[in-house]
Amino acid sequence: MASEVTYAEVKFKNVSPAAVVKVPLDVKKRESHPQKYPLWLPWLTSLLLLLVCVALVVVLFVAPFFRRGVQPRALQQNFTEWLCVSEVPGGKEGGLTCCPKGWKRFQGSCYYLSTDVMSWDDSKQNCTGMGSHLVVINSEAEQDFLSSELRQISRKENYYIGLSAQEVGQWHWVDQTPFNVT
């Protein structure tokens, strides 16, 4: 026997369709979450983050420009005798360029001309061990200086520079300076 479903609609008098509970205003204020930190704390946090960002910019981008006269730490430790020359003619206020004894100085840089016979990779590693790198030629004047120095000591030998190619025609310098054909 099938059961019969009966539906009924019930209506109550004097009741609004949606029951709304009204809460007094002072009860709502007490129930709201109390402030867990002072109002100035977000400002202080923002200021500290800004100061950290400024410090990072100074350390990463500005500080290297003020270290021009400072020699690499590895060079300072490996060489005991240094020859220093003022970068400014006449020795007036300015930085000093210091090179280890036996190195050649040109335009604020130091050059070591090795007569040891080794591969390019070994030469690169040897330079790195001295806190330096294979030469990167940035100007025609620098190239002329190096050619002149090599003619004085060379017995028709070849010397390595810091230029290499991972793929044919894809040249790059060891210090990541872009290669310029001219």
All domains in the chain, ordered by first residue: 68-173 (3.10.100.10)
Determine the Cα–Cα distance for residues 10 and 16; give it in Å rounded to an integer.
14
For residue range 16-51, list pLDDT tens digits in order.
555 555 655 554 555 555 667 788 888 899 999 999
Determine the Cα–Cα distance for residues 98 and 76; give it in Å rounded to an integer.
10
For residue range 116-144, list pLDDT tens digits in order.
888 888 888 888 888 888 998 888 898 99
